[in-house]
Amino acid sequence: MYYYSNEIVWRGHPDKVCDQISAAILYACMQQDKNTRAGIETVGGKGKVFITGEVTTSADIDVKAIARKVLDDIGYTSEYEIIDNIGKQSADIAMGTNDEVGGAGDQGMMFGYACDDTYQKLPKAMVMLQELAQWYDELRKTDPRFLPDGKSQITGKYGDGQKLLEIVDWTISYQNTEEEREATDKIITEKASEIADRYGVKIGRFLINPTGKFLIGGFDGDAGLTGRKIVVDAYQSFSNVGGGCMNGKDPTKVDFSAAHKAREIAIRYLPGHHWVQVQLSYAIGMAEPLAIYIDTDGGQLEAPKSLYEECTPARIIKDLKLKEIDYVELAKYGHFR
């Protein structure tokens, strides 16, 4: 038996807002030009949203309008100065990632994970936090006492096979008007309890806004940055995490595409195991991965040559239809659900 914690941040958390702005700009480009190359970074705070990075595309988009639409949808009501500082992708990188070469858009390692805990093939505590985050986003749209920013963490007691036995502490920090706090806290805890009951897990204790107050939030309370929540975007610490952000990057960037491929491979190898973790590694400009490592609760598995051929960026993009997906939706609550 052991204790372990995992965390999610909600859509209105400053870092997640920046993730969604970067993803929305990419999505707008991809809708007009499927061959868009992009690595978009956003930073926000104290009345300003600064958007930078590299984009090469034939799409005609209004970056500032897209950013404002995301802010409005999340529930940020303040007027922000939007600064568009986006440039073009380096020609040196393009040499190795064009359609003829088809190489990886960056070097690095990416991880994928699957387990037999839920039908989503994800850890139970992770799925529970995602459900609460999605419910909260709908709640704050209809109840003005609830404001966009927030995060939630489960500290659980675990047994053999990484199985969640009970929740020791469920910590929830949610931004609110501080009106009728007893009532709003009750709404939050009742929903969390309902989710836990559906998954057959008991909750020992709730820690709700443990500092005592959470009125000032969002970009007024903290700065945000694209890519600072890569653990939330991946597996909430239940798996190793690669070094790269997945938001605001076109599919030639293996930080994004190979992470999704590693997840698909993990699911494929899961039958007969409690969990599977896959690592893919690449060199910039080269198509096939340098290595594929498959680890399970029963030991390591050898990756066949055919799997290497399957893991080139071009093949991943085609097989997983990565030019057709909604990048903004992925950026909201985590890429794997």
Q: Which residues are catalytic?
A: 13, 15-16, 41, 54, 151, 214, 222-223, 228-229, 249, 253, 255
Q: Tokens representing 263?
A: 């997840």
Q: Tokens representing 116?
A: 């037999």
Q: Return the residue matching tokens 């440039």.
A: 87
User: Among candidates 6, 24, 22, 50, which has minimal Cα distance to 219?
Assistant: 50
- Sign of the C-alpha dihedral computed for residues 142, 129, 243 and 313 taken in this order: negative
The Cα 267–Cα 275 span in angstroms is 9
Q: Tokens representing 54?
A: 């590299």
Contact present, 186 and 203 (Cβ < 8 Å): no
The Cα 141–Cα 239 span in angstroms is 33
Question: Which strand (E) or helix (H) includes residue 115?
Answer: strand 108-115
The Cα 13–Cα 74 span in angstroms is 10
Query: How distant is the alpha carbon of residue 322 from its chain centre?
Result: 16
Q: Which amino acid, one-letter code, is at 289?
A: P
The Cα 153–Cα 144 span in angstroms is 24
Bridge partners, 281 (sequence order): 109, 291
